[in-house]
Structure 1
Amino acid sequence: MTNTCLNSSDLYRIRVAVPVHVYDCFDYKVSQVEYDQIQVGARVAVPFGRQHLTGVVTEKLSPDTPIDPRFQLKAITELLDDHAIIDDKVLKLAGWAAQYYQFPIGEVMHTALPTLLRQGKPYNLLARTWKVLDEHAEAKVKRSEKQQEAYKVLKLHPHGTLETILNLSGIETATLKAIEKKGIIRCELENQNFSPEPLQLAQMPLTANDEQKKAIQTILKAQNKYQGFLLDGLTGSGKTEVYLQVMHEVLKQGKQVLVLVPEIGLTPQTVSRFQSRFHCNIALLHSGLNDSKRLQAWQHAQTGKASIILGTRSALFTPMPKLGLIILDEEHDLSFKQHEGFRYHARDVAMYRAHLEQCPIVLGSATPSIDSFSLAQQGKLTHLQLNHRAGGALMPKMHLIDLKIAKKQHGISDTLIKEIQIRLDKKEQVLIFLNRRGYAPVLICESCAWQANCPHCDAHFTLHKKPYEHLHCHHCGTINRVPDACPQCNQQTLKPIGMGTAKVEESLNELFPDHPVLRVDRDSTSRVGSWQKIYDQIHQSEPMILLGTQMLAKGHHFPYVTLVAILDIDSGLLSVDFRATERTAQLIIQVAGRAGRGDKKGEVYVQTLRPDHPLFNTLIHKDYRAFAKATLADRQLALMPPCRYAVLLRCESKNQEDNQRFLTEMTQLLRQHAGDLIDIWGPIPAPMERKAGRYQAHVVLLSQDRAKMHFYVREWWQQVLHYKPSSMKVSIDVDPQELS
């Protein structure tokens, strides 16, 4: 660890970020030769306790740096890279994120590496190329048959060949390195000195309207410097065209563009749009790739071969030597927040990376988060607005259906059934949204009111009928069989209550037997390629019904959808989370925005038990921006984020009394140091008090002074970890987005 005391002029040391849950880097000794070879940002294999781990060099210590005699330094096991694979800016980004989100630096650093590199596999596993420098140097290899054979093979490939191909031919890497020392062959990284080819357009840009032109010109003025933009545009207003035209100008300069999307499901359509516009290398980085493909894409980004890097939140930590623009599409989406382990928010880390890279960043959304909206109001983000749909398309009209008085079939009102049939008869498509997968959310006994509850959580089992009938807890994953009779009264009067997407699919097939129903949720798209297959089918313009969860609401372009129906949105109006209304408003607007994106007008029907709720009045008669302004004013009165900064401490154990006792002691400790600077709420039970057999409790910290709060919380968090009983789990969430 970081030590002081003795001088040792002949001891060469490096500091290494090791992937263990310890909040510090560790010092290791190296030979003078290794010290001269090692670069900051390279990987090393190191012993750690009984383990051998892969770490990243963060610092080369001067030989005369003092050392504490209490520590006996270990030597590294191996230098894995002969060059830095993580650049200085990504190292700074990881260091900042580790400090800001209170997470071990070694584990943060591993976020920046693909799985194969984390495992210590060679960097050049896929991209190491060997090339002859001197074609008349047989004499230098005559003493070794292996070297002679390798040299002859390489001479057959004057432009070089991959090391993997040579290895398959029986030529060992050690042999190649031995010849390299004689100066007659050279190893190169694939495209290590890559210069992007002149950018070619596959498709000319669309004609931008005045609002789009203004946004494009404003963003382009910020090239080669940091500036943040909030591109706030109605659904269908042409935000993507703004992205593409700005990207074109950045790519023409030979720079790279990083585009982040919230989920894997959005990458196929985004790649399709990029490929139809640009002839350039596009690297995809997301969890759906196998390890080899992810490493190759990462290398293409890291060496500069890829001009466009498209990925989900973790792609943010990928080294890019010529980064010139960052785009965060659907910036409001909760998927940009990591909810376990390293709990970072990609939006905030992306803004810091743009600052380090001195490049502009564009946050795009039709429903900006209240956090980003607040930054725009303060002038910390430049607010760009697109108030009209591109191509003259009109915004859909919204209608409310009062479920208290409406006649229904299978939970769908007669009014909605009639409207769906009209659209199908016109050869149009209908999208039905229900944010609840499975067949039914509750199984109840009509005789005694027994309910099928998860034995490990404060939650109901969800009834599923495929691939077989079973009860499934969506919180802890427990699966039980469906009982033949009520376990409490033994009557065969068990009945599913409520609707999930599987049940609605069954009902729609009964109501509209002549038209296909495509269900899009986590269950129906679990197989590789299944979502792409559904997406392609949707774009064939045949009349059909699309049924799904949030997967259907996120930025998709469905040109043939003219009717959107939202079956149940009321649960979002009853949550204890202060952000619940914000999420609900965003969901309504995003889902509604799938309608009328083509040349036909769209309409939206919302079924609700609370048609008089103020949220509906604002969204129908005004717009999302009016809602955002009102919500921000409410947050200011209540002194809630973003008007104050928040930290959430989560605690779980087998006993709620233990949680309460420990958190009470810890909050008293914090009050002694921070006084009234930090407002402490709790300890209180979590909204779901029992999950997976363990009890959950929270403490919420709020302060208007972020820097001072972080100063006190940093030291306090280490005390929490020190005093925590071994049977208890604790985690810290800086800038939490959910209170669950």
Structure 2
Amino acid sequence: MRLVQVALDLPVPRLFDYRLEGAIEGDPAGRLVKVPFGPSGKPSKIGVVVGAITHSDQPAEKLKAAEIVATLPALPHEWLELCRFCAQYYHHPLGQVMAFALPPLLRQGKRPRQLQPKVGAGETAPPAGNRPTADQQTAIDAIVAAQGFTTFLLHGVTGSGKTEVYLRAIEAVLAKGGQALMLVPEIALTPQLEARVRDRFPAARIVVATSGVADAARARAFLAALAGEADIVLGTRLAVFMPLPRLGLIVVDEEHDPSFKQQDGLRYSARDVAIWRARQRNVPIVLGSATPSLETFHHAMNGRYTLLALPERAVATAELPTVVTVDTRQQKLQDGLSQELIAAVSERLQRKEQSLVFLNRRGYAPVLACPACGWISRCRRCAANLVLHLVDRRLRCHHCGLEAPIPRACPDCGNLDTQPFGRGTQRLEERLATLFPEARILRIDRDSADSPRKWQALLEKIHRGEADILIGTQMLAKGHDFPRLTLVGVVGADAALFAADFRAPERLFGQLMQVGGRSGRHQLPGEVLIQTEYPDHPLYRALAAHDYAAFAREQLDDREAAGFPPFSFQAMLRAEAGELADALAFLKDAVSRAPSFAGVTLYDPVPMRLFRVNSRERAQLLVEAKSRRELHAFLDDWLTTLHALKTPRGLRWHLDVDPLDY
């Protein structure tokens, strides 16, 4: 009789002992098994064998039988180690990590009906366009020549041809018989990148792994990668868990993007996990960005990462756009639009060029209000306002999804003259349509592009030249190349200058540099107009000079003085309950039970900024340490105590290591 330990998809940090039924040769670790769990008659669960054991704390006769799922192959040792690392580093139950890392069909013990046939690997199409620039070739040579694990930061300005560097490095890996993993931050970026990769490698087997892929296709991609039949895996953050026996290179495009951090369940950073995986497999990894995260830039400056710079645009005739601040302190704006921006859009219309007006707020207005009594459209389930969406005449919460019709009159006083306050993309669209009735205006946000098909249709419309003015949110801020786009106007950026989150300036700078980089990427010169009441702010001055390094050094100096990451290491314990008092009480109890560790600081429990979401009230507690080792030693000790606590019914808590949101 063979005994094994099985990881199950349960919110407990423990493994379960079973006796293995049926003959199996070799190590059973990595096999999916069907096991009984709980009282007799309850449905079986699918688990993963993590290893064989010689004895159990339970009597052998009491151990239940685990049945191997014979239709599915064993998961490799490297994959099991990857899941163990995530469980240990993010302090998450191993069974839940493995369940998350597996496609839905496989975690149910099911195999997709058929696998796609393998296409011949290693052949490539000749690169289209010009030869690499000198800077590109230097970067390509360095990556291709890397022996074993090396972390490269490919810091290139917008339009510098980072993707070309990725593709040529992948080409070298395929020529050696290896596999490549390429991560992108958002599903919206995947279709056009996939098309470019397929054009470049027509004979390679390319699989896509995103949450938008159908379950059967996602399972087929996982099994193809596991069998070594996939040559290139392209995907969002979940693709970091794809098994790749011939892995030769990892690429993380737009590595700074917060979308790489999972915000629920297993709260992992795909970028950081990818770096650990590259070290595990002893292969190079390339982190690419025009605006690297400050942590990544800091590592490049101190020599931990190898810096590869692309300071010029790849198209010889393309220059970086001119960045101009428009002082709006003494102006009367037209629904948020300055006279300078209106005139610039008009000029582009006359030249038959495209303009982009950027406002990172969808809807018509952030709130509907009554000027007579002060009523505003609040969400009854969240500590947030219902956003006015005038196109479909709805009030909608962007946090919990609650919807309501627009009231005919103020619900409190009956006033018929309720008014929208503030502005969103729909309101800009309305004003621009009034100012430029002859223009073809296209609004692109989560409302107009709420499916991959709609998003792709909008992009094709832009590329065909069927839009003169684009109005967009951060969906348009990165990864897109519109040849006739020469003007970017930025509306409403100032709020982030004084946000409570210490990462807000970094995010604002990256967002503005990325969206500004959409202009002037080909022969036509580009211009960026930033409307602001703070035209002399250092962040805007650095943007105008295209000087990311100066901005980053100033921010890092400020963070070092304040003791913020990357000069400290943090974790956030969060709790939510029906009442805020219960969440705060749990966190205070957690503080009282915390072990004493020199160098570890626990701050006071506080309500979260958005303290109520979907009728649940939330609080948080920040833990900070000078050493990563000290932080995790403390968390290991502390969490053992917290898991043993009896919590009030309905209260839930979780730990977020290396948090991005505060």
**Structure 2 length-normalised TM:** 0.96
Give the structure 2 partner of residue 52 of structure 1.
44
SS at match of 2:598: helix
C-alpha separation in 1, matches of 2:598 and 2:50: 37
Matching residue within 355, 359, 364 for 1:439: 364
- Structure 2 counterpart of 1:14, one-letter code: V
Mean Cα deviation higher: 610-619 or 475-484 = 610-619
Structure 1 residues 81 and 513: CA distance shift in structure 2, 3 A: farther
Does residue 718 of structure 1 match 2:643?
no
Q: Is the 8 A contact 1:650 1:698 kept in 2?
A: yes
1:288 positional shift: 1.3
> 2: distance between equivalents of 1:213 and 1:531?
34
How far, CA to CA, are the matches of 1:455 and 1:408 in structure 2? 33
Amino acid at match of 1:691: V
TM-aligned CA deviation for residue 459 of structure 1: 1.4
Of residues 75, 82, 88 in structure 2, which corresponds to 1:86?
75
Corresponding residue to 1:301 among 225, 229, 242: 225
Indicate how the Cα distance of structure 1 residues 83 and 476 shifts in structure 2: closer, same or farther if over 3 A, else same.
Answer: closer
- Alignment of structure 1 residues 139-288 onto 2, 5 Å: 196-204=120-128, 206-223=130-147, 225-279=148-202, 280-288=204-212
Partner of 2:9: 19
Shift in CA distance, 484/541, structure 1 to aligned 2, threshold 3 Å = closer
Query: Which residue identity does 1:503 align to in structure 2?
Result: R
Aligned to 2:323: 398
Matched, 1:450 2:439: no
Counterparts of 2:48 and 2:540 in 1: how far apart (Å)? Answer: 52
Aligned to 2:630: 708
Within a 5 Å distance, the mapping from 1:378-527 to structure 2 comes to: 378-392=302-316, 393-466=318-391, 468-527=392-451
- Contact map agreement 1:196 1:307 (CA 8 A) in 2: no
Q: Identify which range, 416-425 or 570-579, moves more after superposition.
A: 570-579
Question: Match for 1:444: what amino acid?
Answer: A
Greater Rg over alpha carbons, structure: 1
**1:126 pairs with 2:88:** no
What amino acid does structure 1 have at the position aligned with 2:172?
E
1:540 maps to 2:529: no
Distance 1:389 1:198, change over 3 A: closer
Q: What SS does the corresponding residue of 2:369 show, helix, strand or coil?
A: strand
1:30 aligns to 2:3 (yes or no): no
Contact preservation (8 Å) 2:370, 2:376:
yes
**Aligned twin of 2:612:** 690
Per the TM alignment, residue 282 of structure 1 is displaced from its structure 2 partner at its CA by: 1.1
Q: Partners of 2:155 and 2:59 in 1: how far apart?
A: 58
SS of 1:353 mapped into structure 2: helix
The answer to whether the 8 Å contact 2:601/2:625 transfers is yes
What secondary structure sits across from 2:528 in the alignment?
strand
Q: 8 Å contact 1:38–1:83 — kept in the other structure?
A: no
Counterpart position of 1:367: 291
- In structure 1, the residue corresponding to 2:605 is in which secondary structure? strand
The AA in structure 2 aligned to 1:359 is V
* Aligned residue identity for 2:417: T
1:608-619 aligned at under 5 Å gives the runs: 608-619=532-543
- Following TM superposition, by how much is the alpha carbon of 1:524 offset from its aligned partner in structure 2, in angstroms? 0.8
**Which residue of the partner structure matches residue 158 of structure 1?**
none
**C-alpha deviations, 1:652-671, integer Å up to 9, x for none?**
1222232323212211221x
Instruction: Report % sequence identity.
Output: 41
CA gap of 1:347–1:429, structure 2 versus 1, over 3 A, is same
From the superposition, tell whether residues 71 and 99 of structure 1 become closer, same or farther in structure 2 (CA, over 3 Å).
farther
* Closer, same or farther: CA 622–465 of 1 in aligned 2, 3 Å: closer
Within 5 Å, give how 1:559-574 maps onto structure 2. 559-574=483-498
Kindly provide the CA deviation profile for residues 107-146 of structure 1, in whole angstroms up to 9, marking residues without a partner as x.
Answer: 1112221111112213x6313xxxxxxxxxxxxxxxxxxx
* Match in the other structure for 1:681: 603
**What is the CA–CA distance in structure 2 between the aligned matches of 1:328 and 1:344, rounded to whole Å?**
15
- The separation in 2 between residues aligned to 1:571 and 1:36, in whole angstroms, is 63
Kindly tell me: are residues 71 and 708 of structure 1, through their superposed partners in 2, closer, same or farther at Cα, counting changes over 3 Å?
farther
Map of 1:184 onto structure 2: none
Which of 565, 568, 583 is matched with 2:507 structurally? 583
Contact 2:72–2:109 (8 Å) recurs in 1: no
Mapping 1:311-350, distance limit 5 Å: 311-350=235-274
Tell me the residue number matched to 2:575. 651
When structure 1 is superposed on structure 2, of 325-334 and 288-297 the one drifting more is 288-297
Contact 1:428 1:543 (8 Å CA) reproduced: no
The letter of the residue matching 1:56 is: V
The amino acid that maps onto 2:369 is I
Match in the other structure for 1:114: 103
Q: Which moved more, 1:629-638 or 1:679-688?
A: 679-688
* Count of aligned pairs between the two proteins: 656
Give yes or no for contact 2:17–2:56 (8 Å, CA) kept in 1: no
Structure-1 separation of matches of 2:462 and 2:519? 14
Q: For each residue in 1:483-542, what CA deviation from the matched residue of structure 2 results, as whole angstroms up to 9, or x when unmatched?
A: 211122221120011111112112222222222111111111113411111111111235
- Give 3-state SS (helix, strand or coil) of 2:438's partner: coil
SS at match of 1:685: strand
Post-superposition offset of 1:573: 1.6
Counterparts of 1:404 and 1:515 in 2: how far apart (Å)? 29
Deviates more, 1:515-524 or 1:612-621: 612-621
TM-score, normalization: structure 1?
A: 0.86
Q: Extract unaligned runs of 5+ from structure 2.
A: none
Q: 1:205 to 1:23 in 2, by over 3 A?
A: farther
- Aligned partner of 2:50: which letter? T
Cα drift, residue 84 of structure 1 = 3.7
State the match for 1:136 in structure 2. Answer: none
Cα deviation per residue 1:518-576 (whole Å; 9 max; x = unaligned)? 11111111134111111111112355111111110022112211000111112212321
Q: CA deviation at 1:61?
A: 2.4
Work out the CA distance in 1 between the residues paired with 2:190 and 2:72: 32
Residue 24 of structure 1 and its aligned partner are, at CA, apart by 1.8
Give the drift of 1:458.
1.8
AA aligned to 1:215 is A
2: distance between equivalents of 1:621 and 1:327?
Answer: 29
- Over 3 Å counting, the alpha-carbon distance change for 1:451 and 1:83 in structure 2 is closer
- Given that residues 39 and 82 in structure 1 are in contact (C-alpha distance below 8 angstroms), is that contact kept between their aligned partners in structure 2? no
8 Å CA contact 2:315, 2:521 repeated in 1: no
Aligned-pair distance for 1:610? 2.5
CA shift for structure 1 position 402 = 2.1
Q: Is the 8 A contact 1:229 1:363 kept in 2?
A: yes
CA distance in 1, matches of 2:82, 2:373: 58
Deviation at 1:715, TM superposition (A): 2.4
Q: Distance in 2 between matches of 1:424 and 1:204?
A: 31
- For residues 140 and 299 of structure 2, the distance between their equivalents in structure 1, rounded to whole angstroms, comes to 20
Q: How far, CA to CA, are the matches of 1:686 and 1:115 in structure 2?
A: 32
Deviations 1:78-127 (A, max 9, x none): 321366442111110011001100111111112221111112213x6313
Q: Which amino acid aligns with 1:679?
A: T
2:551 alignment partner in structure 1: 627
1:42-72 deviation line (CA, Å, top 9, x unaligned): 211111113311111111224xx35444993
